[in-house]
Amino acid sequence: MELVALLSTGKGTWGQVSGLMTHGEWDNVILIGSDFAKDFKHDKKFEFIKVDLDKKLKDLKEDILQKLKGKINGTEAALSIASGDGKEHMALISALINLPVGIRFAALTKDGVIDL
């Protein structure tokens, strides 16, 4: 299963994404963020999709949707929205649903990676 995660401004929220990448078993990791997030580094391989998070909600959703097409290999993906705000979350969730792909929210807890 692919992990799709949003990397927004505020590097403090990137720890959750990094932990999910380290402790989860993923076929592929797709990180979505602005130019600011291109500085994210990790030992595990990932694909970075650059978007303009300042776009209007509908335009952001369409941008994410177009850039995600063909990148999810199954019928569902694990999703982390630990980073970002409501507008960014809505755009990403809407884009995934419109691919169409089912989503499982993933989080890293003291007990390990869990599906919510």
- 64-79 pLDDT, tens per residue? 999 999 999 989 999 9
Residue 78 is predicted with a pLDDT of: 97
Backbone torsion region of residue 84, taken as left when φ is above 0, otherwise alpha when ψ lies between -120 and 50, otherwise beta: left
Residue 82 is predicted with a pLDDT of: 87
Prediction pTM value: 0.92
Can you give the pLDDT of all 116 residues of the chain as single tens digits?
Answer: 999 999 987 666 788 899 999 999 999 999 999 998 888 999 999 999 999 999 999 999 999 999 999 999 989 999 999 888 999 999 999 999 999 999 999 999 998 898 88
Tell me the fold of 2-115.
Answer: Rossmann fold (3.40.50)
Residue 102 is predicted with a pLDDT of: 95
Residue 49 is predicted with a pLDDT of: 97
